[in-house]
Chain A
């Protein structure tokens, strides 16, 4: 299994090394792949991995066994996930005591442990492999194809799957212009939110005057509810590095930076390991693969500021300053980092590049819609049965993602809205569930693609409260440089606070709309310009909820404290006395066998009785 990795001197070296790795007879091996992405690791997968390693060490059987840790499979809901090869047997929700059984039955005995397989909640059918699970069946995985199959800390794993072959191809047979033309034919657009054509950016940067030129990978994934970039950096860091190498070659850059969010320690760790390995293998550094092309990458950790996802703010942060954006009448491709031509792309964009080079721009352009090509990774989260990362072709409907992949809404609740595009995005209601998911369609609906967060909300979600949540988030994260954003958001938040507190005034909706217009028209950067989207889209689709809060002092979703009451249903109350004991305000009275009553004058609406009642006799009205 351990084929020594030498330094690659020519593009042909990579090809022959890949062949050696791929020709190895793997049928004699048993592989146990344990996901150690943040989701599975939180549920104890590290320990499960150790237990498998221990079992493999102690085994005196004649089979050769390797236990390895792999990146995120995306189905975080069902973690920890363990896949056994050959056969691709997909075990979910594995716990420590299951390790011995899996090892004995499946690894040594080739039998399947039925109870750890995924069971379809509708048909009750068990799925042996990932592809049999509806969550995976509808997906089309390009960027995530090797996530969960390779050990992200081993460069040989990546090369065995054809990794760095795109770099070899580029350096041996393509001019920089040809690389850009290929990406242009692919129609690749930036995955970070804006959807700007990648090839056009590369070409402008290539043609810009001034040296040195820089390429940057934006890994400052700040949108709450989005974690696709984290998963790529953790699970397949070399794909990002290879993409950057190809981009740097096309642009004419010798130095790259990866700016990673501070909250992603595992991503930083895996990227650092990957960069070190790439340097040792001669894939980063001087005269890569014997060519005249030199390139190296360094990693910078963010400081925990959402605005640093904006390109000019990110560059200011890289220069060691506060992350304040600047006006962009001079583009960063002409004057960016340190005043030099700089090309910035998002993690997912970079990770797409090797695939485009390998399979051709035409292949990539064959996927998706007219103006949005390829696939997009979404983090499907919130009130949905199957939570996790999904990669789908552009042009799929929202309904297909939420109902088929996501399995619909749990607890028999009704769907209310899906929020896309992060804090700058919007909420899309059920009447638009058949809209196609691509850059332009989502914008038309008042939302946006953003980096790919997709948060599903059920009928119990108050949309005014959601708008307040995002406005509060943005107000806290506003850098404070320009007045419209700094003051405008504070004013909007004040109005929203008022509405959700039950102090809303007639005309508040119009006030919000006016402030939103000002923000959109006058704020300095994209963060400010789009900051009103959550408010505007909820007013557009859920105006009646705003009206109910303001005119009736009532929260239809019964989420805003003070805008609904708790009452005990005398029919359902069994007079068990739990609520009476738990109430911190002694607001509940009652005796044995007599239904209890809440004294509304004393009740502070803390909700304890509602949470504790075993008979759901406490109602929100």
Chain B
């Protein structure tokens, strides 16, 4: 808990405790933890003297914030106009069907989190899928399957899932 508090203090210090910088603070927290853990948010609210309701209002308003742990990999599928015209809707359906996942969700084995996103601004490459920051162009339902199936499960995620299953 002290370590967590230290992290929050460090993040707040980066912005001189300016409440106007709440969003960058939460972005920093998310990049440290991978998501926004509830106790961290409470601690952030306490230290900034901001009601937790306001912090949750921000956390749920912006689509880039997540309140649950993400998978070992991040898969984003562009749903911009051009990608849509070139069939990203079919890719979306195929991924959801194949991996039994909801848009915005994480697979049960925590292999990957799947996020359909608004235009990534790479329309010349449509349809575009971004996996862990790497852009794939001209994606089809088949190639999307291949790309995702070739993802390797991260060690720690696999172990933590195993542990959870054991308890």
Complex CA gap A41/B85 in Å reads 23
B56 to chain A, nearest CB (A): 10
With A263-B120, A305-B62, A320-B21 in contact, is A42–B81 under 8 Å at CB?
Answer: no
Residue of B nearest to A423 (CB): B81
Interchain CB contact under 8 A, A227 and B135 = no
Chain A contacts for B54, CB-based, 8 A: 321
B82 and A76 contacting across the interface, CB-CB below 8 Å: no
| B81–A230 touching, CB < 8 Å | no
Structural contact, B82 and A382, CB atoms closer than 8 A = yes
Give chain A interface residues in 41-62, CB to chain B under 8 Å: 41-43
Enumerate chain B residues within 8 angstroms of A42, measured Cβ to Cβ: 122, 125, 128, 134-137
Chain B, range 115-137, C-beta contacts under 8 Å to A = 117-126, 128, 133-137
A300 to B133: give the CA distance in the assembly, Å. 20
Contacts of A388 in B (CB 8 A): 124
Alpha-carbon gap, A318 to B58, bound state (A): 12
Contacts of A39 in B (CB 8 A): 122, 124-125
> A41-B135, A223-B119, A453-B81 given as contacts; is B126 within 8 A of A381 (CB)?
yes
A306 interface residue, CB < 8 Å from B? yes
**B81 cross-chain contacts in A, Cβ below 8 A:** 224-225, 381-382, 419, 453, 455, 469-470
Q: Which residue of A lies closest to B82 (CB)?
A: A381
A306's partner among B57, B58, B118 (CB-CB below 8 A) is: B118
Q: Is the CB of A79 within 8 A of B119?
A: no
Q: Is B80 part of the contact surface with A, judged by Cβ < 8 Å?
A: yes
Contact pick for B85, options A222, A302, A379, A461, CB 8 Å: A461
A473 near B118 with CB under 8 A, answer yes
Partner of A304, one of B62, B84, B125: B62
Is A345 among interface residues, defined by CB-CB distance under 8 A? no
Interface size class of B (residues with CB under 8 A): 35 or more
- Binary flags per residue of A64-94, CB closer than 8 Å to B gives 1, else 0: 0000000000001101000000000000000
The verdict on A320 contacting B58 (CB below 8 Å), with A226-B119, A263-B117, A306-B118 known, is yes
CA distance A558 to B133 in the complex (A): 35
B81-140 interface with A by 8 A CB criterion: 81-82, 84-85, 90, 117-126, 128, 133-137
- Chain A minimum-CB-distance residue to B133: A265
Contact between A225 and B58, CB atoms less than 8 A apart:
no
Q: A320-B20, A382-B85, A469-B81 given as contacts; is B119 within 8 A of A76 (CB)?
A: no
Contacts of B20 in A (CB 8 A): 318-320, 338
Instruction: For the complex, give the distance between the alpha carbons of A263 and B120 in Å.
Output: 6
Q: Quick one: which of A287-325 are within 8 Å of B by CB?
A: 300-306, 317-323
Contact across chains for B124 and A76 when beta carbons are under 8 A apart: yes
Q: Is the CB of A230 within 8 A of B121?
A: yes
Q: Of all chain B residues, which has the CB nearest A41?
A: B135
Residue from B23, B24, B61, B82 within 8 A of A225 (CB atoms): B82
* Cβ-based interface call for A387 (8 A): yes
Residues of B with Cβ closer than 8 Å to A?
19-24, 27, 54, 57-58, 61-65, 79-82, 84-85, 90, 117-126, 128, 133-137
Can you spell out 21 A-B residue pairs with CB atoms less than 8 angstroms apart?
A38-B135, A76-B123, A76-B125, A221-B121, A224-B118, A225-B82, A225-B123, A226-B119, A303-B64, A303-B65, A320-B19, A320-B58, A323-B62, A338-B20, A381-B81, A381-B124, A382-B81, A382-B85, A387-B124, A419-B81, A469-B84
